[in-house]
Structure 1
Amino acid sequence: MVKTVGLLVMAYGTPYKESDIEDYYTDIRHGKRPTDAELQDLKDRYEFIGGLSPLAGTTDRQAESLLDALNDTYNDVEFKLYLGLKHITPYIEEGVKQMHEDGIEEAVTVVLAPHFSNFSVGSYNKRAKEEADKYGITLTHVEHYYHQEKFIQYWTQKINDTLNDIPESEHDETVLVVSAHSLPKGMIEKSNDPYPNELHETAKILSAQSNIKHVAEGWQSEGNTGTPWLGPDVQDLTRELFKEYGYKNFIYTPVGFVCEHLEVLYDNDYECKVVCDEIGANYYRPAMPDTDPLFIGAIVDEIKKLF
């Protein structure tokens, strides 16, 4: 007998249209409305990358790809897809409530972020569980998948492909910058959060498995809170690496993200490239996983371990 199990795919969310931006930004700021200047800055960033982030459409495609892959993998389970977003509708709670209304009693949850932090993936899982407990829905959480072989294989291939575009004589003057979204330093240190170590492990594995000779770790896209965040920031790191080693080629792999959106298209492709142009180095950024079968397969393999 085939049983129906919910698949709750959770992600950050992004405005669907320009009129959503203020409410979206207010939600990120825990209900505090941004100033006109802050709001305009965000609008300008979206405008720079083409109007709005492609994240919403990509999240939908990733969720559908994962659903299809799981239903192809399991013979005795039919997964039914639900979306839960952190900062815009359908919110995580709305996704869980819809599961209840559909009669779902058991579900697997996955966040579209490969590394675990109590303040990122952990916070999504907590919100989902609090809502699920109201209805008696049992959840199995995927906490991370950065270590999955297919996830590493994806990035290893992209790094090696990028190296093939760089003259072999310059490989010793090439550095890989592995990064993820920064988080407030105090919170991470106070809770002994695993997040920084998971990024470090990712960089270490990619260094060992790819053909790259030099690897550095950085953080990006920190918030404007007036308190220290995890560093070094990738822009500062780029300048430091150039000053110390004179690298000619910088390959950026923002492995903490899973698709192209504002933080990659602006923070990497614009801000990091500006620094590379400033120091006279070449900027490279391989394609993001999006719906690549290796990436989707990595999540499926993690789910198979748990469920």
Structure 2
Amino acid sequence: MAHTKIGVLVMSYGTPESMDRIEDYYTHIRHGNKPSPEQLQELTDRYEAIVGGVFPLRENTDKQVAALEETLNRGRGEGDVQFVCYQGLKHASPFIEDGVERMVKDGIREAVGVVLAPHYSVMSVGAYNQRAQTKADELGLKISFVKSYHDHPKLIEALTRRVEHSLQQFERQGEARDQVRVLFSAHSLPEKIVEMGDPYPEQLLETSRLIADRVGLPQWQFTWQSAGRTATPWLGPDVLDTMSALAKEGTKNILVAPIGFVSDHLEVLYDLDIEAQAMAKELGIKFARTESLNTDPLYMETLADVVRQQWEGNE
């Protein structure tokens, strides 16, 4: 017999809880090695450049977790399973392991894990799932995981609406949509994932193609952003390099659709809204990006669908 409460571990990268926790956060990302004063200052400056600092970033994820729980339990009748969502972050509290512990303490015996990232990579979603599985095994929790949902129809519909809306804004400004180059983007990962046969790049291209076909895009391409600074090469080209190349070709209008990100975080609010926008100004290009999904009902329904499917498959 199924338990009446099913835990849902909602995992994401995480952000510091406050400005004074940035060093702890950065140290965790660096596997316990403190950043240099220069590195710490650079990251702090990025957060300070965003209106409200770190707080809206943290709040975005909190709202997504709450909205998912509400969506999962909407229309729940007496005797129906109740889904209870718990947050688990990779680099900030509550950590992934904390979320698993809280479920067990609350008497949860069965759970589903889902990452707030539609595209699977062994280095991203796979690593989140492994951490949760290890802790669940230690505590005797039965848990299974949603691997990816990059082609879910409701996700594609939500992203398509955003691209269409942004293109209409260009048209209202007198720009023909066939003169707008659409760039789909996602967080870069080390190039070695290609040699590993990782599905991440192809899943991103599939999402891009599905949206482009729905919108009827005459011109689009894929680009990467927010690469880490390590000795090993990361997937490219970077969005800034792509913009520079397009400007040399005579492109005057660019729309970035950051399909690898599901909410307003640093990679969107700083890397695109500030850094890429500044480059566009230098290049004399009209630049825009699509709105983030955040708590869009279609995105929440996407997550609810895949969580239910995963749980029902286990049953």
TM-score, with length taken from structure 1: 0.95
- Rounded to whole Å, the distance in 2 between the matches of 1:79 and 1:223 is 36
Partner of 1:177: 183
The answer to whether the aligner puts 1:79 opposite 2:108 as a matched pair is: no
Match of 1:65 in 2: 67
Partner of 2:289: 285
Q: Which amino acid aligns with 1:50?
A: V
Question: Cα deviation per residue 1:230-257 (whole Å; 9 max; x = unaligned)?
Answer: 111001011112223x222111111111
**Do 1:113 and 1:121's aligned partners in 2 also have CA atoms closer than 8 Å?**
yes
Structural mapping, 1:11-26, within 5 Å: 11-26=12-27
Equivalent AA in structure 2 for residue 37 of structure 1? E
Partner of 1:39: 40
Asked if the contact 2:3/2:109 (under 8 Å) is kept, the reply is: no
Which of residues 191, 195, 207 is equivalent to 2:196? 191
Deviation at 1:169, TM superposition (A): 5.5
Letter in 1 for 2:119: H
Deviation, 1:74, is: 5.4
Which residue identity does 2:6 align to in structure 1?
A: V
Q: Does 1:155 align with 2:156?
A: no
Deviation digits for residues 37-64 of structure 1, max 9, x if unmatched? 0000000111111352322111111001
- The aligned counterpart of 1:234 is 239
Identity %: 44
**2:213 paired residue number:** 208
How big is each residue's C-alpha offset from its partner over 1:44-89, in whole Å with a ceiling of 9 and x where there is no partner? 1111113523221111110010001111165521011211111111
Residue identity matched to 1:182:
S
Does the 8 Å contact 1:163/1:212 carry over to 2? no
CA distance in 1, matches of 2:149, 2:195: 24
Deviation at 1:7, TM superposition (A): 1.0
Alignment match, 2:4 = 3
| C-alpha contact 1:254 1:264 (8 A) present in aligned 2 | yes
CA shift at 1:212, angstroms?
A: 2.5
SS in 1 for 2:111: strand
- Could you tell me which of 167, 170, 181 is aligned with 1:166? 170
Consecutive unaligned residues of structure 1, counting only runs of 5 or more, are none
- Structure 2 segments unaligned to the other structure (5+ residues): none
Count of aligned positions: 305
* 2:170 partner SS: coil
Moved more, 166-175 or 148-157: 166-175
- Equivalent residue, structure 2, for 1:305: 309
